[in-house]
Amino acid sequence: MSVSYTCTNPACGVVLKTSSRIAIGKSVNCPKCGQAFVPEPGGAAAGTLKLVDEPKKPEPPKPKPFVDDDEDAESVKKGYGVIAETEAEKEQAERNKPSFNEIQDKHKKSARGPAMSLLVMPSNLLTLAGLATGIIGLFILVAGAFPLIFNDAPPGEEETEEAIIQMTIGVTAFFWGAMLCFCASQMQELASYPWAMVGAVMGIVPFLVGIYGIVMLQNPEVKAGFEEVEGSTDEEEADGKKDDDDDEDDDEDDEDDRKKKRGGQKLTKGDKRMRS
């Protein structure tokens, strides 16, 4: 719904349109000539065009607020709030609180992860020491065998003895390094505690890295990890033996059933002969 007004300036006479009616006695400025005029001075201005207002629709009735019959007027005025628990209610709730001790005991944390994390550094150092020792031993072996193989004149007894000693040292160092690598793998995988300790002791000789391994192998968390792995392997072996025993029992039962069937067939043939 729009309302139109005509400017009172005879030189202008522009028609103004607004979306709502202007209050009676209020002056407005014409946007074209800038002259101020009162569109409705105590009534409708002369020369104005107005639209008849449509009758307003009745507003819908507002919903009544919900009032609980169980609540009195004073509680409604005060409003709602949180009631603090009494000491007796807190004690009762603490008594009825469920406990999960049994579930926690059934699902204990594995000790393998902490043990393996503690042995990462010593096992890596032991592996590097084993590789370095093996490479050095191989180099000594080749250096000792070189004068015996690549020599035009036959070597003397002293040269031969020195070469043999040098080759023996090279072979020993090579196998020493191989043992260090093997024991390092046993340590890193928690496969065998004795082999891990042997590797740590052997690792003292070349580069003293075995001292760190010995210290870490004495850690209770590391020992618990080795014990858990050994216990799991024992259980797997026991389960395997049980499965083998069950398979043997099943085979024996099948063999007995076959023998019974064969005996029944023989008896039936004997009965037929007797009848004939």
Q: Are residues 41 and 128 in the same domain?
A: no
Q: Are residues 31 and 119 in the same domain?
A: no
Q: Domain for residue 214, yes or no?
A: yes
Structure tokens at 196: 């891990």
Q: Are residues 126 and 215 in the same domain?
A: yes
Q: What residues contact residue 33 under an 8 Å CB cut-off, 6+ apart?
A: 7, 9, 11, 12, 14
Q: Domain for residue 35, yes or no?
A: yes
Give residue 77's pLDDT.
Answer: 65
**276: helix, coil or strand?**
coil
Q: Domain for residue 153, yes or no?
A: yes
Q: Are residues 117 and 16 in the same domain?
A: no
Structure tokens at 187: 């340590």
Domains: count for the chain:
2
Residue 240 CA to residue 246 CA, distance in Å, equals: 10
Give residue 195's pLDDT.
Answer: 95
> What is the span of the domain harbouring residue 1?
1-51
Q: Could you give the angle at which helices 193-202 and 120-149 cross, rounded to 10 degrees?
A: 60
Burial of 112 (0-12, 13-18, 19+ CB in 10 A): middle
**Contact of 126 with 180, CB cutoff 8 Å:** yes
**Contact of 167 with 141, CB cutoff 8 Å:** yes
Q: Domain for residue 269, yes or no?
A: no
Q: Domain for residue 254, yes or no?
A: no
Q: Domain for residue 148, yes or no?
A: yes
Q: Are residues 46 and 116 in the same domain?
A: no
The tally of CA atoms less than 13 A away on the side-chain side of residue 20 is 3
Give residue 272's pLDDT.
Answer: 45
Structure tokens at 172: 């020993």
Domain boundary among 200, 225, 250: 225
Q: Domain for residue 274, yes or no?
A: no
* AA letter at 221: E
Give residue 51's pLDDT.
Answer: 42
All residue ranges of the chain with pLDDT < 50 are 43-53, 267, 269-270, 272, 274-276
Residue 133 CA to residue 244 CA, distance in Å, equals: 45
